[in-house]
Structure 1
Amino acid sequence: MPRFLLIVFILAMALTLLVPLGEVVRISFTDELGAPTLANYRDVLGAGYFRNALLQTLAFCLFTSVGAALLGLPAAWRIGRGGSGAVLLRGFCQANYAFGGVVYGMLAVALIGNVGLVPIAEYELFGTEVTRGFVYTTAGLVVAYAGFQIPRCALLLAQAVEKLDPDLLRASRTLGARPAQTALLVAVPLLGGAIVNATVSTFLISIASFGVALLVTRSFPIFGMLVFKEFVGFANFGTACAMAVSLAVAAFATAGAMRRLASGGVY
């Protein structure tokens, strides 16, 4: 029975993942008449706009993922070590998985859009409109992405926190270490691998998410959003597939480089 279930699982993965992926790759190497060509990749990687958008998207998702891992550490510590509010915090982070990127885009617009809660409160209290339309800036896009990145990082890191040896933490306190020293010199090094894994996982999720950008970005070209527009808006299927393949290769190459750098050049 276990072997039968394994075979069913492999076949299901092949049908739902490998077959569609193979079709995307095939279309990326064919022209409108079905003839083999590299023109789609020349259009994507040779065009300055698409190439720059790809590089900017990689840098943006890498920067926000590292920030999310660091900002998610306090919540992960509370969830992993227990204490007041830990259950509620875990539930809040888990609820994050119930919402798609479009929902977070809508929440960001409702919070810091032109008529969001924050601009309205600012105007009523101070008579200014500094935060009006903030969500449509690059900084606003960072805030919108952080809305789903930080909770997911916190949950991933909480699993590692739960496995920390409490004797090591108690020993550091016994030797006179302050809480901040225990956190920075004992806990963080022990969580180094988990922090890297959480960053890489969040980076790959962010690369594939474009719902937030679809609603809020006006000047920053998120590559996934451009793939969506090429496929749905312009019906340039060959170009869209070449963009998708290029994005996947670049994303996994970047993730591999992150892991290798974090391990000191050793896999």
Structure 2
Amino acid sequence: MESAPAKSEVRAEGRTGRWLWALPPVLVLVLGFLYPLGLVVQQSFTPEGGGGSLDAYRSVFASSAFREALGTTVWLAVGATVGCLVLGFALALIIAFVPFPGARAVAKFIDVFLSFPSFLVTLALLFIYGTVGMANGVWTDVTGAADGPFHFLSTPWGVLLAEITYFTPFVMRPLLAAFSQLDTAQLEVAAGLGARPARIVRQVILPEALPALAAGGSLVLVMCLNEFGIVLFTGAKDVTTLPMLIYGKAILESDYAAACVVAVVNIVISVGLFGLYRVVSKRAGA
């Protein structure tokens, strides 16, 4: 029979082994993420030009460019999230409950679409609605006009359209999963009692879909808040979001202290929204 000291040594060796296995990923996390993040935070409090630790924050918060970028970021993120929720819910309803050929293939394509980079969707929209895109080309060919009427992609509405187009599948995916677990007997009973489709959706399907809608909407809100590629590729010069402001301050103006301040603000908002997303996802069982 093994003695108590021997058992203690075995347990100690097991704990040591676990710590050794955990060390490599911890080092990668610290060196690859936490250390650079710490440098960003430090730089925001210690500007290269000298001054107080909060001078960069006061300067950034007092600038109209920061306030406009923050407002633009928030309204684009909220607007895109609302659009994705409405469009995603409608499309998920059709795919899940309206039988049509290829419904399963469409549902599979949504999974593939989630892997696409955001700039690819924006590039496709530029081919169609850009200044020299297909829509303007058809217009000039038919009317003989020198220029087409479609120039909205370089406006905030074009950015909003691109974000809704790209992020809607991120709402559809959890909705389709929720619909697949819905008891169809409830729908049959409601239809048998004479309920119209709109009432079935409102009173039977929507309550079951609310957790998935909340989880998908929270995720889209976080991603829209940090979206950079869509704004850049649309060429919307008058649309400056927080990520675009960070790019401008750091790369174009070499004002690294201001860029770090905006980055810290963006991180705080993003982490807060991600915490909300995790809470909602946990309650939704995602």
> What amino acid maps onto 2:248 in structure 1?
K
Distance 1:36 1:22, change over 3 A: farther
Residue 175 of structure 1 is matched in structure 2 by 193
Residue pairs, 1:128-143, within 5 angstroms: 131-143=149-161
Question: Out of 112, 133, 139, which is 1:95 matched to?
Answer: 112
Higher mean displacement: 52-61 or 250-259: 250-259
* Contact 1:81/1:162 (8 A) holds in 2: no
Residue 184 of structure 2 is matched in structure 1 by 166
**For residues 34 and 167 of structure 1, what CA distance do their matches in structure 2 show?**
69
Residue 264 of structure 1 is matched in structure 2 by none
Distance 1:170 1:209, change over 3 A: same
* Contact 1:113/1:132 (8 A) holds in 2: yes
TM-score, normalised relative to structure 2: 0.79
Q: Does 1:40 align with 2:52?
A: no
Question: What are the superposed Cα offsets for residues 179-212 of structure 1, whole Å, 9 maximum, x if unpaired?
Answer: 2211122111211121111111011111111111
SS in 1 for 2:92: helix
Distance 1:133 1:238, change over 3 A: same
Question: Out of 148, 159, 171, which is 2:166 matched to?
Answer: 148
> What amino acid maps onto 2:117 in structure 1?
G
Residue 220 of structure 1 is matched in structure 2 by 239
Residue 69 of structure 1 is matched in structure 2 by 85
Question: What are the superposed Cα offsets for residues 48-106 of structure 1, whole Å, 9 maximum, x if unpaired?
Answer: 22112112211111111111121011332355569532332234323333332332332
Residue 254 of structure 2 is matched in structure 1 by 235
Residue 10 of structure 2 is matched in structure 1 by none
Residue 263 of structure 2 is matched in structure 1 by 244
> What amino acid maps onto 1:115 in structure 2?
V
Residue pairs, 1:51-62, within 5 angstroms: 51-62=67-78
Alignment length, in residue pairs?
A: 261
Higher mean displacement: 176-185 or 12-21: 12-21
Residue 65 of structure 2 is matched in structure 1 by 49
Distance 1:87 1:15, change over 3 A: farther
TM-score, normalised relative to structure 1: 0.84
> What amino acid maps onto 1:191 in structure 2?
A
The structure having more radius of gyration, on CA atoms, is 2
Shift of 1:36: 6.1
Compute the RMSD of aligned alpha carbons: 3.0
Question: Out of 121, 130, 134, which is 2:138 matched to?
Answer: 121
Q: Does 1:29 align with 2:45?
A: yes
Structure 1 residues without counterparts, runs of 5 or longer: 262-267
Alignment identity in percent?
26
**For residues 96 and 43 of structure 1, what CA distance do their matches in structure 2 show?**
41
Distance 1:10 1:153, change over 3 A: farther
SS in 2 for 1:103: helix
* Contact 2:131/2:148 (8 A) holds in 1: no
Shift of 1:131: 3.3
Q: Which runs of 4+ in 1 moved over 6 A?
A: 4-7, 255-261
SS in 2 for 1:140: helix
Higher mean displacement: 102-111 or 55-64: 102-111
Distance 1:215 1:252, change over 3 A: same
> What amino acid maps onto 1:249 in structure 2?
V
Distance 1:112 1:13, change over 3 A: same
* Contact 1:96/1:152 (8 A) holds in 2: no
**For residues 65 and 175 of structure 1, what CA distance do their matches in structure 2 show?**
35
> What amino acid maps onto 2:33 in structure 1?
L
**For residues 160 and 6 of structure 1, what CA distance do their matches in structure 2 show?**
36
**For residues 173 and 215 of structure 2, what CA distance do their matches in structure 1 show?**
12
Shift of 1:39: 1.8
